[in-house]
Amino acid sequence: MIEPYMIWIWLAIFIITLIFEALTQDLVSIWFSLGALVAIILSLFPEMPFWGEIIVFVIVSIITLILTRPIVKKMLKNQIRKTNADSLIGQVVLLKKDTMKDDYGEVKINDVIYQTVLADDDMEPIKEGEYVTIIAIKGNKLIIKKHN
């Protein structure tokens, strides 16, 4: 006899794991969704006992996890993209306002003015009109050093 409530239990597990997957940025529950999907199909057959559905759910979830997670993680890791701000690092620009240990300076790049900070607290001030190299970005400020 088909136990109609089992379909609803597996469907609930399927939906909950899909929602959880959608809310996270990492792959954490898609394998359980696949296991629940197989269990939903099995629950339609009256010959399959509940404990059989559970065993198949666990096995399918573990197998899909073992076989796909390393591949998917590697693919997601390679999708890191640089932002437009990252393209500023390494550029040599003209300083528009003195940059000192305790005071921000300014540079103008593509008609946008950015605040600058010295790369080292011990560095000597860099005067307006000198060329500087952007070595990093911290928050919304460019970390600079005197260009050689």
Does the pLDDT at position 76 exceed 70? no
Which residues lie across from 145 on neighbouring strands?
133
Neighbouring C-beta atoms of residue 19, cutoff 10 Å: 12
46 lies in the same domain as 21: yes
Which of the four pLDDT bands, split at 50, 70 and 90, describes residue 3? low
Last residue of a domain, one of 47, 77, 107: 77
Distances (CA, A) of 108 to 94, 132, 137: 8, 12, 15
pLDDT band at 82 (very low <50, low <70, confident <90, very high): low
Q: How many CB atoms are located within 10 Å of the residue 5 CB?
A: 9
The rounded distance, in Å, linking the Cα atoms of 118 and 144 is 5
Q: pLDDT band at residue 119, thresholds of 50, 70 and 90?
A: confident
Handedness of CA 136, 142, 146, 148 (dihedral sign): positive
Domain count, the chain: 2
Examine the fold and report which residue of 77, 109, 130 is the final residue of a domain before the chain moves on. Answer: 77
Do both 70 and 107 map to the same domain?
no
- The pTM (predicted TM-score) of the whole model is 0.50
Domain limits at 54? 4-77
Average pLDDT of every residue of the chain: 85
